[in-house]
Structure 1
Amino acid sequence: MPIPRKIAWLCLLWAACASAQASQGLSLAQALDAAFANNPELAAASRETGIAEGERRQAGLIPNPELSWEVEDTRRATSTTTVTLSQALELGGKRGARIAVAGSGQAIAQLDLERQRNGLRADVVQAFHAALRAQTALELAQQSQALTERGLRVVQGRVTAGQTPPVEATRAQVQLAQAQAQVRRATTQRSVAYQALARLTGSPQASFDQLQAASLSPGAAPSADSLLARVEQTVEWRLAAAQVARGEATLGAEKAQRVPNLTVSLGSQYSREDRERVNVVGLSMPLPLFDRNQGNVLAAARRADQARDLRNAVELRLRSDTHSAVSQWHTAMQEVDAYDRTILPSAQQAVDTATRGFERGKFAFLDVLDAQRTLIEARGQYLDALASATDARAQVERIYGDLDPSRHLSISRSSND
């Protein structure tokens, strides 16, 4: 007997472990860590830094020397052979200008990677909260189905007792069928939302079956003025400023091209006819009579001006988007607070009151149906308000990066109190 009992305990333990592994939860922090580690688009963007490093290394190299060999008079007895080693000397600061352009490219690559990380983080936050709302919507739909099932039982009891006409039971059955359809739709929407979140984390399918979060709320909106004071610290503004720096560096490189390079040659010439060897020294330089790179200089100057205009446009867009997102966030959170404090509790109380009154014969079943529809609509509008607030938060974090999580935690606690 002891041996089978031990085997039974081991089987129960194994089943418990298997159930725990099958029921895996996912938090926002875990989703972000997985996305930063496994997202293929972010991995591809990180390669740009290595590309920029190679371009910077190449820009610092000097031109290779050139070795030439030529023969005059192919007859062996009277031929003259010349071997020359030539080296081009870059004048006008061309190498330094190339390095400056490549260095600005490195800075742009780093900033673009930071922008990609901010964008990915905002996408994950948005997808996580969308999946969390879909998960909550399914739970609410199941609660609504339970309400309609309760109403149907009450109606059937009153119909059996002869206190209510049979048409009320038909209405209750229609309401139940609608609630069951809503549960099926909510189940599908949750699966789609889970899959979208899994894709951002670099997984082909969702390996979790539940999301873990302390609250659906994204927290209170920050002050627009405090954000706008940091607009020049945002990665998009710094990226636009780096584009201006690269435009100016490119202009300097094109100006440096106006100065021709000097080629120095050193060689040896041997004449078989005279049986004499002589040294050969030469200097060569193009004469900038027609092509002084004036067209490329003009184009680079205009591109630099264009980069400044684009930087101003980016700043204007960032300020406008900040005002819009903060306003949307603030308004949505006011709606969320109203639903939390007043609308949802009142709608739930109305359903309970109407159901109890119908059981006692004080209300008609239509009153119960109206109360249930009001509660279901209020729950949907509550989730819509949360979606609007979350989208606004994602837009703000797409611009300014990760907002202080401790601040949101304290705000959430104070609002709950």
Structure 2
Amino acid sequence: MNDKNTYEHKNKHKPFALPGLLACALLMPAHGAAAAGPVRFADFLEVVERQNPGLAAQQETVRSARAGIDIAGVRPDPVLTYGRGNIELSRAVTPRPPRTHALGLEIALELGGKRAARVRAAGSGLRLAQAGERGFRNALYAESAAAFAEACRSRDALVRQESALAALGRVVRANETRRAAGDIGGLELAQSRVERDRFAAGVTAARAAAGAAMQALSVQLGMPVEDAFGGAPLACDFAAYEPGADAGALVAQALEARDEVRIARAALDHMRDNAALARANRWVDPSVSLGLTLAPGTPGDGDGGGTARSRMLGVSVSVPLPLSRLQRGELVQAGADVTQAMLALREAELKTAAEVRRALLAFAAARENFRRYRDAVSADADRVLDGMRQSYRQGAAPLLALLDAQRTADETYLDYLQSRADLAEATVALQLATGQRPAL
């Protein structure tokens, strides 16, 4: 989207297109050292990727999901038990029996591939989180492109309106001179002043809108725009983008790279892994217990009735009775989740094909409108305005005709700026629809 042929026509009667650097210098207060050059959209995106808090939160989600793989691989902890028993409380029993010490170790054995299923499910959960993070990133790209294009539009609109206000000021000064010479009446002078003052109010509103649009960039940046770029202006001469006319090729590309499709595929894989985990969890886990019991010996009497010290080792296996497995609710739920994920993937693929074709049509329309305004409409409106100014200075045209031509030329130029912003947003929408990193 080359914006070379903008509204900067070489005509001594048209001081409308002030340089973009001067315009942005009026809008952006100096805050620290200014950047070396204009801020390109790519520079803006780089700072957005580093500083946006929402994107940082999504990256933490991915980090958490990655840690979930380690958690899923943890095996059940063994259980160590210790007991001391045979403490006789009755004084009537003599001699008292010895106190025993019991040491046990219980180990749960996972069957059915539970651990491997957990790890697979956690891995697909990580891929789903990564796909979600990419989706959030691309949505952020779209918001950033819209905010950047609006900042450019409002900035250049202010430049135009300030230039038009200056032109109206010159008309008022000329009418004051003509009124003093008796060439025009006081009514015409008053009318030109009214129009100038009304336009000044619009310029004040446009200045506020331009400043607000610049400050809106801070939302995506995650920091004040002044802190990010100082007083550097925005580079609004967007490069041309040619996607090609083969909608089928663009749809095929989008089905492999579009966020919605990737997320839906990752969700389907995750649901399938969860279903496999649900099946694995239906296996019962036996436990193996090892026990060591120590009993001290007892001294004998004179006839030798004592007992020797005892060490007894025991092994036991416990198996839960799988009565709870008679119901199959978790399997039914897991199967339903897989079916829903398959349907969601199909819906995402259909929506992607429609979105790509819609985005291609919107891009073609926006490009055609931009070219029409740039190459014909704006130039014709300016030629009419120049001719009307010349006629008014020569007394061949009334003031109302001049003011009407001025309004028409200004509105046409504002429409041109809007068409440029629309083309920027349509370009990014098409790029994102086909899985590309946006570039302007």
**Would you say 1:286 and 2:320 are equivalent positions?**
yes
Determine the structure 1 residue equivalent to 2:68. Answer: 55
Determine the structure 1 residue equivalent to 2:303. Answer: none
**Would you say 1:185 and 2:210 are equivalent positions?**
no
Determine the structure 2 residue equivalent to 1:255. Answer: 279
**Tell me, what secondary structure is at the counterpart of 1:321?**
helix
Deviates more, 1:60-69 or 1:152-161: 152-161
> Residues of 1 paired with 2:292 and 2:391: CA distance?
115
1:298 to 313, 327, 332: 332
1:373-388 aligned within 5 A: 373-388=407-422
Deviates more, 1:360-369 or 1:158-167: 158-167
**Tell me, what secondary structure is at the counterpart of 1:206?**
helix
Q: 1:117, CA displacement in angstroms?
A: 2.3
Deviation string 1:30-49 (CA, Å, 9 cap, x unpaired) is: 21121111122211211122
Q: 1:356, CA displacement in angstroms?
A: 0.5
Structure ranking higher on relative contact order (CA contacts 8 Å, 6+ apart): 2
1:200-349 aligned within 5 A: 200-207=220-227, 208-213=230-235, 215=237, 219=241, 222-223=244-245, 224-233=247-256, 234-272=258-296, 275-292=309-326, 294-349=328-383
**Would you say 1:392 and 2:415 are equivalent positions?**
no
> Residues of 2 paired with 1:51 and 1:404: CA distance?
28
> Residues of 2 paired with 1:205 and 1:341: CA distance?
33
Deviation string 1:345-380 (CA, Å, 9 cap, x unpaired) is: 111111110110111121111111111011111122
Q: 1:253, CA displacement in angstroms?
A: 0.4
Q: Tell me the TM-score normalised to structure 2 length.
A: 0.82
Q: 1:177 to 1:226 in 2, by over 3 A?
A: farther
Determine the structure 2 residue equivalent to 1:39. Answer: 52
User: Which segments of 5 or more consecutive residues in structure 1 lack a partner in the other structure?
Assistant: 1-17, 409-417
1:150 to 163, 170, 182: 170
Deviation string 1:165-208 (CA, Å, 9 cap, x unpaired) is: 32221221122112212221121111111111133222235344
Q: Tell me the TM-score normalised to structure 1 length.
A: 0.86
Determine the structure 2 residue equivalent to 1:198. Answer: 218
Asked whether the 8 Å contact 2:86–2:97 carries over to 1, the reply is no
Q: 1:210, CA displacement in angstroms?
A: 4.7
Q: How many residues align?
A: 389
Asked whether the 8 Å contact 2:52–2:222 carries over to 1, the reply is yes
Deviation string 1:113-140 (CA, Å, 9 cap, x unpaired) is: 2222222222222211111111111111
Deviation string 1:226-274 (CA, Å, 9 cap, x unpaired) is: 3211122223211110100000000000001111012111121234576
> Residues of 1 paired with 2:368 and 2:180: CA distance?
47
Asked whether the 8 Å contact 1:220–1:330 carries over to 2, the reply is no
Q: In the alignment, residue 287 of structure 2 is paired with which amino acid?
A: T
Asked whether the 8 Å contact 1:351–1:375 carries over to 2, the reply is yes
Asked whether the 8 Å contact 1:92–1:256 carries over to 2, the reply is yes
1:84-103 aligned within 5 A: 84-103=104-123
Deviates more, 1:24-33 or 1:357-366: 24-33
Asked whether the 8 Å contact 2:251–2:434 carries over to 1, the reply is no
Q: 1:145, CA displacement in angstroms?
A: 0.9
Asked whether the 8 Å contact 1:42–1:116 carries over to 2, the reply is yes
Determine the structure 2 residue equivalent to 1:120. Answer: 140
Q: Which structure has the bigger radius of gyration?
A: 2
Asked whether the 8 Å contact 1:358–1:364 carries over to 2, the reply is yes
1:67 to 42, 67, 80: 80
Asked whether the 8 Å contact 2:73–2:119 carries over to 1, the reply is yes
Asked whether the 8 Å contact 1:67–1:84 carries over to 2, the reply is yes
> Residues of 2 paired with 1:198 and 1:206: CA distance?
9
Deviates more, 1:35-44 or 1:386-395: 386-395
Deviates more, 1:102-111 or 1:268-277: 268-277
Asked whether the 8 Å contact 2:62–2:129 carries over to 1, the reply is yes
Q: In the alignment, residue 215 of structure 1 is paired with which amino acid?
A: D
> Residues of 2 paired with 1:239 and 1:221: CA distance?
24
Deviates more, 1:146-155 or 1:281-290: 146-155
Deviation string 1:82-131 (CA, Å, 9 cap, x unpaired) is: 32111111000101100011000111122222222222222222211111
Deviates more, 1:123-132 or 1:380-389: 380-389
